[in-house]
Chains A and B, each alone.
Chain A
Amino acid sequence: MGRYVLRRLLQLIPVFVGTTFLIYFLVWAVPGDPFTGMCGERPCPPQFVAAMTDKYNLDDNVVVQYLKYMGTLLTGDFGQTYAEQPIGDMIANAAPVSVRLAVIAVIIEAVIGVTAGILTGLRGRGFLDNLVLVSTLFLIAIPTFVTGFVIQIVLGFQLEILTPTVSTEAKWSELIIPGFVLGSLSMAYVSRLTRASISENRRADFMRTALAKGQPKSRIVGVHLLRNSAIPVITFLGTDIGNLMGGAIVTEGIFGIHGIGKLIFDGINDKQGAIVTGVVVLLVLVFLLVNLIIDLMYAVLDPRIRYD
Chain B
Amino acid sequence: MKLVWQNPLTLIGFIIISSILLLAAIAPLIAPYDPNAIDVKAILLGPSQLHLMGTDGLGRDVFSRMLYGARISLMVGFVAVGIATLIGIVLGAIAGFYRGWVDTVIMRTVDVMLSIPTFFLILAVIAFLSPSIWNIMIVIGLTSWMGVTRLVRAEFLSLRNREFVLAAQALGAKDFRLIFGHLLPNSLTPIIVSSILGIASAVLVESGLSFLGLGVQAPQASWGNILTDGKEYIQFAWWLSLFPGLAILLTVLGYNLLGDGLRDAYNPRSNQH
Pairing of A with B: no
Q: Which residues of B contact A (CB under 8 A)?
A: none
Residue numbers of A with Cβ under 8 A of B are none
